[in-house]
Amino acid sequence: MFSTIGDLLVTGRRQCRQLVLAALITLVAGAAHAGYTTTRYPIVLMHGMSGFDQVGAVDYFYGIPQSLRDGGARVFVAQVSAFSSSEQRGEQLLQQVRNVLAITGAQKVNLIGHSHGSQTVRYVAAVAPELVASVTAVGGPNKGSKVADFVDANLREGSWLRGVAAAFINAFGQVISFLSGSTAYEQNAIAAMKSLTTSGSAAFNAKFPQAIPTSSCGDGASVVNGIRYYSWTGDRNLTNVFDVLDAPLAVLGQLHGAQNDGLVSVCSSKLGQSLGVYAQNHLDEVNQLLGFVDLFSVSPKTLYRQHANRLQAAGL
């Protein structure tokens, strides 16, 4: 294959140089990767209704915490009541934020809330702004959800069906808490549902209006009380044929009469600076179910990593 020993040596040196160059490129890329998501303040991820921090090997934010940590971020995943009012969940989160600050020695945190987690993090920022550097809502029903309106209207106040449904959902919430290693919080399905109705969200916004858009579908203030506010969402229902939860979201999506992710309309999701609308449904926004998302859209992990880098650039 080689006509002379000289040819063999030349080829060997060439391959050696290529290997060294590849190793250097890998090291440089690895160094950039390692610092890409490093933020000044720790990131705290907040789950939505029926959520958890981790059950077994499954994260609520599936694979996202580790992806952020791989880039250098300090990430904490909070767990509050799976079902409760926005204010009650917010109080539970506030205590955990104080714990994170005590552990890390940081002065503030960057809060990212998905779904009902949006109101949860907004509450903390409103009552303790000195502890919060930024708030990000992902698929947050900031002006309510038509799905919650539908449930509230069809499970009439005082009916036996409403009581049975609430008892079942509360029990489900306790099971979730048990499986994730936390049974400290009570569950209140009715309070959770009421918080996410259009009227319940309006009442919450009247008390905590920070960064809520004043127009029907515009952006809100990007900075309030020194806190930066961001949001993004999805506008699809069916995104992956292998995701068994896409079909229910497609059915529920018909209730909105506008662009939505299955549970929340695009306009309702807006808070502060809107960062975009993506080909994702409500579960895709946290890389669920188990990563079965639209293969032709931006990865949810990428969005969180890009946002961490955005916070880094903003000195947060």
Render pLDDT for 175-223 as a digit per residue (tens, 0 to 9): 999 999 888 899 999 999 999 999 999 999 999 999 999 999 999 999 9
pLDDT in the model for residue 30: 43
**Are 45 and 91 part of one and the same domain?**
yes
- Residue 26 has a pLDDT of 37
Q: Does the structure show a pLDDT above 50 at 4?
A: no
Residues 23, 122: one domain? no
- 115 is an active site residue: yes
Q: Which of 53, 243, 261, 284 is catalytic?
A: 261
What value does the mean pLDDT of the chain take?
A: 91
pLDDT in tens, 222-267: 999 999 999 999 999 999 999 999 999 999 999 999 999 999 999 9
> Are residues 1 and 86 both part of a single domain?
no
Q: Which of 256, 282, 294, 299 is catalytic?
A: 282
Residues 91 and 1 in one domain: no
Asked if 31 and 142 sit in the same domain, the reply is: no
Asked if 23 and 44 sit in the same domain, the reply is no
pTM, two decimal places: 0.89
What b/e sequence results for 68-101 when a residue is b if at least 16 CB atoms lie within 10 Å of its CB, and e otherwise? beebebbbbbbbbbbbbbbbbbbbbbbebbeebb
User: Residue 302 sits in a domain of what CATH number?
Assistant: 3.40.50.1820
Sequence letter at residue 133:
A
- The active-site residue out of 81, 86, 115, 201 is 115
| 299 carries an active-site annotation | no
Give yes or no: residues 48 and 180 share one domain.
Answer: yes
28: containing domain: 1-35
Q: Is 261 a catalytic residue?
A: yes
Domain count for the chain: 2
Residue 217: the pLDDT is: 96
- Count of Cβ atoms closer than 10 Å to residue 173 Cβ: 24
Report pLDDT for 229: 98
Are both 221 and 288 inside the same structural domain?
Answer: yes
| pLDDT of res. 28 | 38
Model confidence at 52: pLDDT above 50: yes
